[in-house]
Structure 1
Amino acid sequence: MIVTTGAGPSDETRAHAVELAARLSLPFVERRNRSLPQLRRQYGTDGILVVTAKGARLERAQGQPFFFHPNNAAFRIKRLERGDTDIMLSVCQIAPGDHVLDATLGLGADAIVFAHGVGEKGRVLGVESEPLIALLVEDGLRTWPTPSASLRQAMWRVEVAVGHHLDVLRTLPDRSFDVVYFDPMFTSAVADSAGIRGIRPYANPEPLSMEAVREALRVARRRVVLKEGKGGTLYKQLGFTPFRTRQHQVVYSYQDAPGGE
């Protein structure tokens, strides 16, 4: 894999590309008006990380490009600002100042909404097992251009940690987060929505384990929440209680922490 820029990059864009190449320990290649197929042939690689003024995207010869996008977080935050509710925040019983561990960060849309919900005095830590996804999402959270101050501030407040969620959970003290949230890679059709299609080839398909749930219950002060796609049955296998909503594309379920709030 190599890192390059779009055609005619600004000094700022080039510096951004050089920085990402260094963080990923990948070679930076000047674009020099070469097409992506030309670069693939010349450098014998399929994956090319292309950095432009709009951000970074991973391009392969086949399949969808992968790039950070806040997805539905912008729409959900707008609704919250109008006084509407967000089902995820309701299931998690989120209040300003809460600390949330998003154990399966992915593209980070849910983490952004959490960050808006907990506010400036709260904390949201997103854990992502795949280093490339983690870096591109962390970079996107800091650089995604948006006119919305609320969305921008929420994105900036999301912290990103690289690691398997079970390994990270094992390092955390008892009752150190109000909520631990799992959104494992959907296996149903909702996973093929345009918003997350690009991430699918790079995401960790490993199913959520009972051991991870036990660790999450130790770390959570309030509850552990699971999100699945339509028709998901993992909550039954892991002993979660379904949260009844009118939504049909997403299934939320929860387990209250022992001695929780």
Structure 2
Amino acid sequence: MYLISTSSKTNAYFIEQAKTVSQLLQMPYVPRKHQSVEDLLTTHHCAGALVVTKEGPSFVTKEGVPHQFHLSMAHLRLLEIDRGNIDHLLRAIGYESVTSVLDCTAGLGSDSAVISYGCSQLTRHTAIEGHPILGYITNYGFRHFQHKQPKVTEALRRIQLVICNYQDYLDQIVPNTYDVIYVDPMFENPVYESPQFLQWRGHILESKITSEIVELALEKSKRLVIKERKGSRLFKALPPIEMVGGKYSSIAYGIYERR
């Protein structure tokens, strides 16, 4: 269970904002009353808190570093695109001709940021996140983050984030709603040292790709792209028609297309 609160130095505006978020996410609002977040979590037996601050929403746990929206590794990837180097994910989705993309696992928003920035011709770009707090923070970033380069800010604003289970979303949409569907599930062997995910360990919703999900995705789109380790059981059990990735990288983007 999670709770909603404010920073210790707050005012009536942020308290009302926290109460609104509480209603939106259906999570209890708990007044801060000068207590530490750790004390609030212990008292209310919660695993984490979404804290409303003047810098934006922050996810806080007892053991992790607070998480607020940031571009993370996407920043370096955007710089490489500006230098004329096409990102491997962009190659996998067919960046030159794609007009609509569904990112089923938005997470911190890095991949969707790269897709939107590298494919400015997109007419529909939807990102799905199953964890309500992570989804709220990522969507806040898409809506409010200001980059020094206006075209990066514009790329973020083009992304429409939906908080739900992506399998439920796939069930509801009609065939050919998107040109490409992208999925980045939790790796079979997680990269535990990855700093941007440290505060989310044990909180991120895990999803395993099955043949049924692959079939469903290819009913709804022309192409499915899955990010995994090159030697993963997934790629061995469901071989993609092509894999895109760095020569010396253990990570690849597997491409599947409707027959």
Counterpart-to-counterpart distance in 1, 2:92 and 2:232 = 17
| Alignment match, 2:102 | 101
Residues 249, 255 of structure 1: CA spacing in aligned structure 2 closer, same or farther, 3 A cutoff? Answer: same
Q: Note if contact 1:97-1:123 (Cα within 8 Å) is conserved in structure 2.
A: no
The equivalences for 1:173-252 within 5 A come to: 173-190=174-191, 192-221=193-222, 223-229=223-229, 231-240=231-240, 241-243=242-244, 245-252=246-253
Q: Note if contact 1:92-1:179 (Cα within 8 Å) is conserved in structure 2.
A: yes
Post-superposition offset of 1:200: 3.0
Q: Note if contact 1:190-1:230 (Cα within 8 Å) is conserved in structure 2.
A: no
Counterpart-to-counterpart distance in 1, 2:122 and 2:182 = 19
Gaps of at least 5 residues in structure 2 are: none
Gaps of at least 5 residues in structure 1 are: none
Identity of aligned residues (%): 26
Q: Write the letter of the residue equivalent to 2:21.
A: L
Counterpart-to-counterpart distance in 1, 2:17 and 2:149 = 23
Q: Write the letter of the residue equivalent to 2:32.
A: R
1:254 aligns with 2:255: yes
The C-alpha deviation readout for 1:186-243, integer Å capped at 9, x for no partner, is 232435411222223222223111111011112222x211101464331221221323
- In angstroms, what is the RMSD of aligned CA positions? 2.5
Post-superposition offset of 1:67: 3.9
Residues 140, 189 of structure 1: CA spacing in aligned structure 2 closer, same or farther, 3 A cutoff? Answer: same
Residues 236, 46 of structure 1: CA spacing in aligned structure 2 closer, same or farther, 3 A cutoff? Answer: closer
Post-superposition offset of 1:149: 1.9
Residues 32, 148 of structure 1: CA spacing in aligned structure 2 closer, same or farther, 3 A cutoff? Answer: farther
1:80 is paired with a residue whose SS is: helix
Q: Note if contact 1:115-1:123 (Cα within 8 Å) is conserved in structure 2.
A: no
| Alignment match, 1:56 | 57
Residues 212, 57 of structure 1: CA spacing in aligned structure 2 closer, same or farther, 3 A cutoff? Answer: same
Counterpart-to-counterpart distance in 2, 1:230 and 1:51 = 40
2:201 is paired with a residue whose SS is: helix
What's the TM-score once normalised by structure 2's chain length?
0.86
What's the TM-score once normalised by structure 1's chain length?
0.86
Q: Write the letter of the residue equivalent to 1:163.
A: C
